[in-house]
Amino acid sequence: MSMALDDLVLAAQAQLEAALRGASLCSVSRDPRRGASDVKLHEGRWYTLRDIQRLLATGEQPGQAVDAVSSELRRRTPAGEAWASYLSGGEQALRDARTALDLTD
């Protein structure tokens, strides 16, 4: 597994925890005054990186893992500002994972 990807996961987790400011994800999602869009961006980034990390741990090839997580992320269709933020974080994570796993052209 890529150490660079592991570092991305740890950084994303720290950013999510900082954005939550001690609150739970559920409470932030229900209260838009608590910065849900910012939290959702970090959640999408962390969750996407963790999904890639999990697939790699099962022996999946890096390119296939990133493609599978990308497909799953794009298959979801919720709407709204929170989802747009989550999706944006996920897409950034996909770009960063491709770089970390040396999958860029």
Q: Cα–Cα distance between 64 and 24 in angstroms, integer?
A: 32
Indicate whether 29 pLDDT > 80: no
Domain extent at residue 55? 3-100
Return the percent helix, strand and coil in the chain, to nearest 5.
80, 0, 20
Tokens of 6: 């592991």
Average pLDDT over residues 22-36: 66
Tokens of 105: 């052209």
Q: Cα–Cα distance between 31 and 10 in angstroms, integer?
A: 26
Residue 55 lies in a domain: yes
Indicate whether 37 pLDDT > 60: yes
Residue 38 lies in a domain: yes
The percent of residues above 70 in pLDDT, for the chain, comes to: 90
Other C-beta atoms lying within 10 Å of the C-beta of residue 99: 13
Q: Check residue 90 and give its pLDDT.
A: 97
Total domains, the chain? 1
Residue 105 lies in a domain: no
29 vs 75, higher pLDDT: 75
Q: Predicted confidence band at 24 (pLDDT cuts at 50, 70, 90)?
A: confident
Indicate whether 10 pLDDT > 70: yes
Record the pTM.
Answer: 0.86
Helix 81-100 to helix 3-20 angle (10° resolution) is 160
Q: Check residue 27 and give its pLDDT.
A: 67
Q: Check residue 28 and give its pLDDT.
A: 66
DSSP 47-91: HHHHHHHHHHHTT--HHHHHHHHHHHHHH----SHHHHHHHHHHH
Q: Check residue 33 and give its pLDDT.
A: 57
